[in-house]
Amino acid sequence: MTVKKTFPKILWLIFSSSIFFILLYFALFYYTKKAETQVYGHTIEQFNHEINKLLEVNAKPILVAINNDTNWDEFVNFIKSKDENWYNSTIGNELEIYEADYLGAYDAQKNFIIRTPTAKIKTLDFIPKKEMELLDKVGINKFYMKIPEGIVEVTGAAIHASNDPMKNKTPTAGYFFVVRLIDIKYVKNLEKLTSSTIIFTDTNPVLPKHKNEITSLYKLTDYNNQFVGNFLFKRKFEVYFENAISILYVIIVAFIINLLINLFYTRRLVYYPLDLVRRALETGNRKAIKELKKTTGEFSYIGDLFEENSNQKIELINAKIKAEEGDRLKSSFLANLSHEIRTPMNAINGFTELIINTEISKSEKLEYLNIIEKSGKNLVSIIDDLIEMSKIDSNQLIPNHAVVNLESCINELYETVKITIKNKNIDFKLIKSKVPTEFNIITDDIKLKQVIINLLTNAIKFTEKGSVTLGFEIDEENKLIHFTVKDTGLGIDEDNHKNIFDRFKRVDSDISIKVGGLGLGLAISKAYIDLLGGTISLSSKIGEGSTFYFSIPLVYAKAEHIVVKPVNNVEVIQSEDQVILIAEDDNINFLLFQKMMQKTNFKIIRAINGQEAVDACLNNPNIDLVLMDIKMPLMNGFEALEQILPMRPMLPIIAQTAYSSSDDKVRIEEAGFTDYITKPLNRERLFELIDQYLNKKNSYEI
C-alpha cells in the first residue's frame, strides 16, 4: 500500500525537476551566445592594439640607432667632405646593427652621396625629394614605398650637429636613410614577434569573421600617406563557443532520453529492490541479499552492506580466535619469563644461603660464588632484553648515527667473542669483504654491534661443535653492506622460519630449554635492523645449521682514507698514591667499590650526592679520576659534570650507571663523560678503565 502511494510522488518529483532543468538549459544557451559575441569583439580590439604595439617595438631599435647616428658631428663633417673611407669604416659597417638591406646618405641639397646596399636591393637612388622636405620639418619619419625589388620599409632622419637642441629649427646638414626589403625573412621575423600568420596584400580586403580565428589589418602608407599595401595578421581564437553549444544540445538530448528511461524503469529499478530490502531486513534471507546485489545503483550498495555485515560477523569470530591465540602466546611468554627469572634468582638465593649458613671449603665457596656471578649476569641480560623490547614497543628507539671504522668495529667484535668461546670446541672464523672499505661509514655502531652479538650468541648456543662464521661484504653497486652469521649447529625447522623474528614465539626444543633465555634476541635484532633501514632473512635446515643474512645501507662519511686499528690487549699500568673520587649515594655500592679496590694504593674519597662531587673536584686539585654515579640526590651525574668540566677539563670522569640500553650509552657519551661502566660492576672492567685513564704506576691485584 505504501509503495503505491509513493509512486505518484516520485513521478511529480521527476516532472518538476525536468521543468527546472529545461529552464536552466535555455538560460545557459542564451548566456553562452551573448558571451561569445562579447568575447570575440573584445579579443579583436586587444589583437589590433597588440599588433600596433609590437610593430612599434619592432621599429624602435632602428629609430634609436638612426637618431644617434644623425646627431653626430663626424657625420655632419662627412656630408661636407664626402670622405668615403670614413663612411665605409663607420656607417657602412652598420647594416647588421640596423638589420637592414640598404643604407643611403644625401647632402643638404638632397643630392645622392653614397649607399651601402646588399644583394637584395640594387637600385641606386630611389628616395623621393619630398620625403626629405618632410624630414626638414619632423626630423625622423618611417614610411613604405615600392621599388623595382619590391615594397620596402624606409626610415629616414635629418642629419644635424650634436649641439643642435632642436633639429627642425636649424638648416639640415644632410639626410640618412635605413631601408628594409619586405621579403620572406622580414615576414617570418614579424610572424615570430607577433605570434601570428601574416599575409601581404596590395588591396583593401573585407575582414572575414571566423569563430576560430581573429584578424587584424595593418595599413602600409608612403611619405605622403598614400596606400601602398596591407599586412593581414591572423591568429587562432582558442575560445570555442560552438563546442559549448554542442555540449548543451547533447545534454538536452541525453536528458530527454534519461527521462524516458526513468519513467519506463521506475517500477523495475525502485519497487522490486525495495521489496528485496524488506525481505532481507525481516527474515535475513540470503537469497534476497544475493538478488539485491545484482541490482543497480544504491540498492546494490545496500546489498553489499548486508553482505559486509555478514562478513564482519565472520571476521569478528576470526579476530576473537586470533586474540585468544595472542593471549595464549603472551601467557606462555610470561610463564617462560617467570621461569627464566626464577632460575637465576633461585641459584643466587640458594648458593648465597649455603655460603652464609653452612661450613664449606674455600674451593666450594669459590665455585658457589662463580655460580652466583653467572646467574646474576643472566638475570641482568633478561632484564636488559625486557627493557629494550619495551622501548621498541613504545617507539622510543631512534638511530644514533656516527662515523664508524667498519673493519675496526668487526675486528673488535671478532676478537672479543673469540676470547669468550676459547674453551668451546668451535672453529670461529671471520670472512672480510673482498672489496676493501677505504672510507669510514655512517651508521649506529652500537645497534649494529648488538645485532651481530645477538646472532653470534645464538649461533654459539646452538652449536655444540663445528664452526661459526661471521662475514661481511661491501656492495658498492647497490650501496649496501651485507652481513652473514653462519653456524653448523642444530638448525631450525622450516615451519618455524616465518615466526623466528616474532617476540612472543620461540622454537621449543631440548637444547633451547637447556640454554634458556626469553627468545627476544632475534626480535630485538630485527627491530634494530629495521631502524637502520635494512633487512634480515634466514636460511636453515634441521641438522645442517643456520645462516642469518642481514643488510644495512652503505653510507660513506667524508672521503678520508682510514687505517684499520688492531685490537690490542689491555695493558695493566700501575699507579701510586693517586686519588679517586667515588660519587655514590648508595652505601652498599660504595662498599663494593671499597672491597674491590682495598688491595690497591689508591686513595679513595667519597661524595654522597652530585653537589658534594662538584665541591670536591673544585676544592681538591689532587683528585686524579672520578667515578660518577648518574642517579644521585640534590644533583645528578649529568648536572655535576656540567659544572666540573669548565673548571677541570682534563679530569677523567667515568660514568657509573644502572642504565644499560644503547640510547642511554649514547647520551652519556654525548654529555662529555670520559667513559662509562655499567652496573652490576665488573671488577676486571673497572681496573681496565682505571689503567686506561691513570698514567702513573701503582701496584694492585686484579
pLDDT higher than threshold 60 for residue 620: yes
Q: Is residue 2 part of a domain?
A: no
pLDDT of residue 644: 92
- The band of 269, judged by pLDDT with boundaries at 50, 70 and 90, is low
Are 205 and 341 part of one and the same domain? no
Q: Which helix or strand (DSSP H or E) is residue 51 part of? A: helix 2-70
pLDDT of residue 566: 44
pLDDT of residue 282: 59
587-597 average pLDDT score: 83
Per DSSP, what are the bridge partners of residue 177? 104, 156
pLDDT of residue 196: 86
Give the CATH number, domain containing residue 650.
3.40.50.2300
- CB-count exposure of residue 38 (10 Å: 0-12, 13-18, 19+): exposed
How far apart, in Å, are the Cα atoms of 298 and each of 21, 250, 468, 585?
A: 23, 26, 65, 74
- Write the single-letter amino acid at 581: L
Q: Are strands 227-236 and 213-221 parallel, antiparallel or unpaired?
A: antiparallel
Q: What is the pLDDT of residues 378-426, one digit of tens each?
A: 677 667 666 766 766 667 677 778 888 888 888 888 887 887 777 778 8
Are 556 and 594 part of one and the same domain? no
Asked which of 275-289, 353-367, 528-542 is least confident by mean pLDDT, the reply is 275-289
Q: Which helix or strand (DSSP H or E) is residue 240 part of? A: none
pTM of the model: 0.40
pLDDT of residue 171: 76
Rounded to the nearest angstrom, the gap between the alpha carbon of residue 224 and the centroid of all alpha carbons in its chain is 70
Q: Is residue 154 part of a domain?
A: yes
Give the CATH number, domain containing residue 108.
3.30.450.220
Final residue in a domain of this structure, among 177, 210, 235: 235
pLDDT of residue 401: 81
pLDDT of residue 396: 67
pLDDT higher than threshold 60 for residue 568: no
Say how many domains are in the chain.
4
pLDDT of residue 185: 86
Give the CATH number, domain containing residue 353.
1.10.287.130
% of the chain with per-residue pLDDT over 70:
74
Q: What DSSP string runs through 177-206?
A: EEEEE-SHHHHHHHHHHHTSEEEEESS-PP
Q: Is residue 30 part of a domain?
A: no
Are 476 and 382 part of one and the same domain? no
Are 387 and 470 part of one and the same domain? no
pLDDT higher than threshold 80 for residue 618: yes
Asked which of 30-34, 438-442, 606-610, 668-672 is least confident by mean pLDDT, the reply is 30-34
Asked which of 40-44, 228-232, 338-342 is least confident by mean pLDDT, the reply is 338-342
Q: Three cell numbers at 310?
A: 555478514
Which is nearest to 144 in space by CA: 210, 251, 218?
218
47-51 average pLDDT score: 81
pLDDT higher than threshold 80 for residue 4: no
Are 386 and 457 part of one and the same domain? no
pLDDT of residue 240: 54
Q: What's the rounded Cα separation, in Å, for the pair 466 and 608? A: 52
Q: Which residue has the higher pLDDT, 631 or 2?
A: 631
Give the CATH number, domain containing residue 515.
3.30.565.10
473-501 average pLDDT score: 85
Q: What DSSP string runs through 53-115?
A: HHHHHHHHHHHHHHHHHHB-HHHHHHHHH--HHHHHHTGGGGHHHHT-SEEEEEETT--EEEE
pLDDT of residue 381: 66
Pick from 13-17, 120-124, 263-267 the range whose average pLDDT is largest: 120-124
Are 485 and 529 part of one and the same domain? yes
- The band of 615, judged by pLDDT with boundaries at 50, 70 and 90, is very high
Final residue in a domain of this structure, among 203, 235, 267: 235
Q: Which residue has the higher pLDDT, 506 or 386?
A: 386
Are 512 and 554 part of one and the same domain? yes
- The band of 207, judged by pLDDT with boundaries at 50, 70 and 90, is confident
Are 554 and 603 part of one and the same domain? no
Q: Three cell numbers at 581?
A: 673520587
619-629 average pLDDT score: 92
Q: Is residue 290 part of a domain?
A: no
Work out the mean pLDDT of the chain and round it to a whole number.
Answer: 78
Q: Is residue 254 part of a domain?
A: no
Are 417 and 538 part of one and the same domain? yes
pLDDT of residue 569: 37
Are 368 and 505 part of one and the same domain? no
Are 620 and 556 part of one and the same domain? no
149-167 average pLDDT score: 81
76-91 average pLDDT score: 86
Are 150 and 114 part of one and the same domain? yes
Q: What's the domain range around 614?
A: 579-693
pLDDT of residue 567: 37
pLDDT of residue 230: 85
pLDDT of residue 574: 40
pLDDT higher than threshold 80 for residue 258: no
Cβ atoms of 233 and 218 within 8 Å: the answer is yes
Final residue in a domain of this structure, among 343, 369, 391: 391
Q: Is residue 296 part of a domain?
A: no
Q: Is residue 282 part of a domain?
A: no
Q: Is residue 142 part of a domain?
A: yes
Q: What is the pLDDT of residues 95-153, one digit of tens each?
A: 888 888 899 899 989 889 988 888 888 888 889 998 888 888 888 988 999 988 888 99
Q: Three cell numbers at 490?
A: 642444530
Per DSSP, what are the bridge partners of residue 107? 174
479-496 average pLDDT score: 86
- The band of 275, judged by pLDDT with boundaries at 50, 70 and 90, is low
Q: What's the rounded Cα separation, in Å, for the pair 8 and 152? A: 81
